[in-house]
Chains A and B, each alone.
Chain A
């Protein structure tokens, strides 16, 4: 490989640097605002770091927006959705990938069609239905519409297709039934895509705003983004320090998860994308 001339490399790095700065700037600004004393927000001007740190903003955000409870709600709801999606999608993906059965083509076509329809576009009837069954403003109402995932079936199936048939035959010869084959052979071999899907699911539902905004009417049920949005619309308007601190608290868990899971997530998602 030839080395590019020095100016080209310099320009390359300069562009990358600009992109990284723009990409990270809002996070930096969030932290800076969250750590500066409230009184200094307007006076500080372009100061790149507050003259002294004030952690009181975090306490104010935590208490006023009741973020502790929101984080707990987020954890319960995201966790419940993830668990249900894994229970429903893993066997379905296995059946679509490795078992030939009548109607599988049509059913998989339904999965592909559902991949194109986002929850946002179906929210009106789903909302009416959830209310008819008296599940509006309940945790069940927040979780139930997401107990299965077309994307999950699709992504997991892509990887399961690559499991060698010989291995499944061997499992059968050893007397393993379909259930035990699923649990002992297919699941361990699909771990990369299961992990990628799990991260995707947690991202999606932790960050979801629209559905909780509709369903969670009572403040006790609010998820972190919803609580933050309500906090933002309340009369505190100009308390940007507390808002930024709240934003940091809501963002932190998912960023930490991403930093840990980045490799697997990127690889797993790439697998789903290539087969399109």
Chain B
């Protein structure tokens, strides 16, 4: 690859003229000047906080600025792992993931294949199916809260219509997590479908022609041709779904606030409560760090899957 630095340096005579901006020292410094602002941003606000949440997880952190942090060793972690509410939050997060990730992926793929195969109205169908992904989740959660309302909510009216007794979607410990997960799926499918559609368009037309010539169609084509070729997309969509589901917060905070009785509390809503309602910032840091470790672990699996793919 030829880059600016590989080119011969301008002659000293040329460098002396102030009009030419290709002074070798400046050229050498340029890439650093280019990356410095962006790197400082992610260093200060992503990398450093991630490290600090690791360090902070070993301290009792007072809320008042300037007050001293107190070393407490593994107390915060003991407190997290010995806390039934934290267990509940981790358990709920796993359940929420199970309820959202697989439906999002399967339905997203199915809809992408369907939308791709349409002859008419393709653009219109796509736009309609993309909308959940773009909408403001807080606003939609407000709407869903009303749809799931015990009295007068659409969900219960529809149930009454087919003769089923009303369900207390948001205030019954058995249903609250399912209700917020339904919203998660509604939005998740939209995102995975977008990714799968993008992946489908990368399959060269020649492949489709060859398959048609060989008489490979339907399920056989999907299994032997489309899915293997879409593997990078599938890995990416899976990782993104996992990351989104682990970090579920917005609609839960609006619809149930983790309740009733912690039945829809997830790691993030619980971290929020521990940190900013109970002000146990050290314990919240420990929870955050557990979350970061899990997310990075998932990211590493993804990179691995990718490098295996590219070999």
Contact = CB atoms under 8 A, between A and B. Distances in A.
A and B found bound together: yes
A33 B146 contact: yes
B152 interface: yes
A125 interface: yes
B151 interface: yes
A145 B45 contact: yes
A15 B144 CA distance: 23
Interface in B2-26: 2-7, 20-22, 26
A146 B46 CA distance: 9
28 contacts: A2-B212, A23-B132, A26-B186, A30-B139, A30-B140, A91-B33, A91-B34, A96-B35, A99-B3, A117-B47, A117-B292, A122-B292, A124-B53, A125-B53, A128-B56, A147-B37, A148-B42, A148-B45, A149-B41, A150-B42, A153-B38, A169-B7, A172-B22, A179-B21, A207-B136, A214-B276, A251-B140, A262-B127
Contacts of B45: 119, 122, 126, 144-148
Interface string A107-131: 1001111111111111111111101
Contact of B5 (A101, A112, A232): A101
Contact of A243 (B22, B27, B146): B146
A10 to B, nearest CB: 13
Interface stretch (B79-87, B95-103, B247-255): B247-255
B177 interface: no
Interface string A29-58: 110010000000110011000000000000
A87 interface: yes
Contact of B35 (A16, A91, A98, A114): A91
Interface of A: 1-2, 12, 15-16, 19-20, 22-24, 26-27, 29-30, 33, 41-42, 45-46, 87-89, 91-92, 94-96, 98-101, 104, 107, 110-129, 131-132, 144-150, 152-153, 165, 168-169, 172, 175, 177-180, 182, 203, 206-207, 209-210, 213-214, 224-226, 228-229, 232, 240, 243-244, 246-248, 250-251, 254-255, 258-259, 262, 266-267, 269-270, 273-274, 276
Contact of B254 (A24, A229, A267, A269): A229
Nearest to B202: A274
B5 A273 contact: no
Interface string B125-139: 101111110111111
Nearest to A130: B45
B49 interface: yes
Interface of B: 1-7, 20-22, 26-28, 30-35, 37-43, 45-50, 52-53, 56, 61, 65-66, 107, 110-111, 114-115, 117-118, 125, 127-132, 134-140, 142-147, 149, 151-152, 154, 157-158, 161, 186, 189-190, 194-195, 197-199, 201-202, 212, 217, 232-233, 235-236, 243, 247, 249-250, 253-254, 268, 271-272, 275-276, 281, 284-285, 288, 291-292, 295-296, 298-299, 302-303, 306
A229 B212 CA distance: 53
B5 A27 contact: no
Contacts of B40: 148
Contacts, number: 311
B38 A209 contact: no
A274 to B, nearest CB: 6
B3 A100 contact: yes
B4 A273 contact: no
Given A26-B186, A117-B295, A270-B201, A107 B47 contact: no
Contacts of B34: 91-92, 94-95, 99, 178, 182
Contact of B3 (A145, A165, A254): A165
Q: Counting chain B CB atoms within 10 Å of each CB, which of A2, A94, A150 scores highest?
A: A150
B2 A169 contact: yes
B128 A99 contact: no
